[in-house]
Structure 1
């Protein structure tokens, strides 16, 4: 089975860090999620950046709709591949 990567989009770093920690508790992740700052096109201001939480899911056991509902509490969303 091919590796699956899930990307969750969050409005700021604090939310991304909270989600990354909560994901391990909620979904029992084997690997720590990766946090990535995603500056919006043409914007240099750190305030105009979104944060991505990237999850490797080699066994394809995580459900996108479940992840989307989970991050909604932080005003985030699951980015469909």
Structure 2
């Protein structure tokens, strides 16, 4: 399952990605991408997303807490 950690600030997203790489070394450094929200025309409304794949089910809550610490959230698809 893929998890998307969404943040308003690029620095926050990059710091979370680095933390996840430390917590879960087999996953490596997750990519940070800029994502424009559906229906948004202004580039300022774009969000920063950390893409995490292969996360153990038991780790999702811990990752969610980390995202919340940086005013972000987790979406799963």
Q: Give the TM-score band, short-chain normalised.
A: 0.7 to 0.9
Gaps of 5+ in 2: none
Count, aligned residues? 76
Match of 1:61 in 2: 56
Instruction: Give the corresponding residue for 1:11.
Output: 8
- Bigger fraction of residues in helix: 2
TM-score (norm 2): 0.79
**Are residues 61 and 41 of structure 1, via their aligned partners in 2, closer, same or farther at CA, if it must alter by over 3 Å?**
closer
Counterparts of 1:1-81 in structure 2, within 5 Å, are: 4-57=1-54, 60-62=55-57, 63-81=59-77
Task: Give the structure with higher Rg (CA).
Answer: 1
Q: Which residues of structure 1 form unaligned runs of 5+?
A: none
Pairwise CA RMSD? 1.8
The two structures have a TM-score, normalised by structure 1, of 0.76
